[in-house]
Each structure stands twice: as C-alpha cells, then as structure tokens.
C-alpha cells in the first residue's frame, strides 16, 4: 500500500512539470490589423533577416494569404543561415491551415541557435503580398533586422534590401511558427522529480528490510 502511494506521488509530480505544448507556438511576426493588398508583377525570392535571442525550434514555415484572393499556387519557403546555406524549406499551399494572415506547412523541427543571424525567404509567384503592414509585432525570441529580396522565379538566398532607404518593416511574404525556446522543458525540475522519486522508492526498500 505504501509503495502504491509513493508511485501516485511521483506521477502527480510528473504531471505538474511544465512542458512545451503545441499551443505554445506563435508566429515570428504578426499583424494586428488587416494588411493592405499589394500585387506583384514580377517574381521575387523575398523575405527578411533576423537574429535569435534564444534557441528557436522552427516547426512550420508559412506564406502570407491575402484575405480577398487567397493562394492560387504553392510557394517555396526556406530559412538560410547568414552565409546563404539553406537550413530548412518546404512548400506552402492553399490546403495548409491559417494562423493569422499566414498559411503554415509543418517541417521537421529545425533549431536555430541563439545569437545567430538568419534569412527567411519565399518564392512569391503571382499571389499578392503585403507591404509595411499595420500593427506589426515581432516575437521576443527574435530580432527583426531588415527586408531581403532578389529577382528570381525560384527560392534563392536574397541579398538586396530597401530598409536603409525606406525604413519600413518589409514585404510579406514568408513567416515561421516560433515555439517556446527549445530549453523550455525545465531539466532541473525533471531531475528533482527523479531524485525525489528515487528517494521515496529507496525508503520503500528500507521499510521492507526492517
């Protein structure tokens, strides 16, 4: 009976340890108000540069969905390191679920280490984009640096920027789901749980030996 009580306590403690959940994710950048519709007449590989304040585990890549026209084609989206190496990519389509103004397609979890600089880009195709949207906010896990673009009909590393000239918060374009930091599951708490459980089970063994 005593042993069952010990196991019940360990299980109860395990349930109280906070872990990262699917609903902890949020867009890396967000708009609070309806963005203006902006069409494109030429193909671009377009996105934005950012740095990370903590380890960020990217779980999905997204593309802007115009509220009036939707998506008419798939869009390749990828994240590059500062040297132009492609770290993760996928294609976002009209069948992917919406979060805010973006449709997202899941990818294998890709960790962007803290302190690094990265570029997210997308093949724009013919679908409308939004420019300098109202109510623009950025996840506290990253720092937005500047817009990035290059003329291209495929996904490539964008090297141009208009930020120094216009000082706006860019064209969108691509986005990614930014979960809680990858160290969000508190290892010290987990270790404490195991140590406590081990101590209680040792007490059970000592009790039986008496």
Q: What is the pLDDT of residues 4-26, one digit of tens each?
A: 444 444 444 433 433 334 445 78
Distance separating alpha carbons of residues 178 and 26, to the nearest angstrom: 5
Read off the pLDDT of residues 128-145 as tens digits, 9 standing for 90 and up. 888 888 888 999 999 999
> Per-residue pLDDT averaged across 98-122, rounded?
95
Tell which wins on pLDDT, 77 or 204.
77
Distance separating alpha carbons of residues 67 and 64, to the nearest angstrom: 9
At 90, the pLDDT band (50, 70, 90 cuts) reads very high
Read off the pLDDT of residues 15-62 as tens digits, 9 standing for 90 and up. 343 333 444 578 999 988 776 667 666 889 999 999 999 999 999 999
What pLDDT is recorded for position 170? 75
What pLDDT is recorded for position 36? 67
What pLDDT is recorded for position 126? 87
In the chain, % of residues over pLDDT 70: 67
Read off the pLDDT of residues 155-172 as tens digits, 9 standing for 90 and up. 999 999 976 555 566 778
What pLDDT is recorded for position 131? 82
What pLDDT is recorded for position 178? 78
Distance separating alpha carbons of residues 19 and 23, to the nearest angstrom: 11
CA 199 and chain centroid, separation: 39
| Domain chopping of the chain, boundaries | 1-20+193-205, 25-179
> Bridge partners of 46?
122, 149
CB contact set of 184 (below 8 Å; sequence gap of 6+): 18, 19, 20, 24
- Given a cut of 50, whether residue 109 has pLDDT beyond it is yes
Kindly report the CATH number that applies to the domain delimited by 25-179: 2.60.120
What pLDDT is recorded for position 128? 87
Indicate the range of 2-11, 68-77, 116-125 predicted with least confidence: 2-11
Task: Report the chain's C-alpha Rg in angstroms.
Answer: 23
């Amino acid at each position: 009976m005593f042993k069952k009580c010990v196991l019940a306590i360990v299980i109860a403690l395990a349930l109280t340890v906070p872990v990262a959940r699917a609903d902890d994710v949020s867009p890396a950048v967000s708009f609070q108000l309806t963005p203006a519709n902006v069409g494109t007449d030429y193909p671009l590989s377009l996105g934005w540069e950012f740095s990370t304040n903590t380890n960020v585990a990217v779980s999905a890549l997204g593309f802007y969905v115009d509220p009036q026209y939707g998506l008419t084609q798939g869009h390749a989206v990828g994240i590059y390191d500062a040297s132009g190496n492609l770290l993760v990519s996928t294609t976002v389509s009209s069948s992917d679920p919406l979060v805010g103004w973006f449709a997202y397609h899941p990818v294998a979890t890709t960790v962007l280490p803290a302190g690094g600089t990265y570029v997210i880009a997308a093949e724009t195709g013919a679908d409308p984009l939004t420019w300098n949207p109202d109510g623009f906010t950025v996840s506290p896990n990253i720092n937005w640096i500047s817009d990035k673009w290059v003329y291209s009909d495929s996904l490539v590393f964008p090297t141009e920027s208009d930020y120094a000239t216009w000082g706006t918060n860019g064209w969108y374009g691509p986005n990614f789901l930014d979960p809680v930091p990858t160290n969000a599951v508190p290892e010290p708490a987990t270790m404490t749980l195991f140590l406590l459980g081990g101590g209680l089970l040792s007490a059970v063994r000592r009790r039986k030996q008496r």
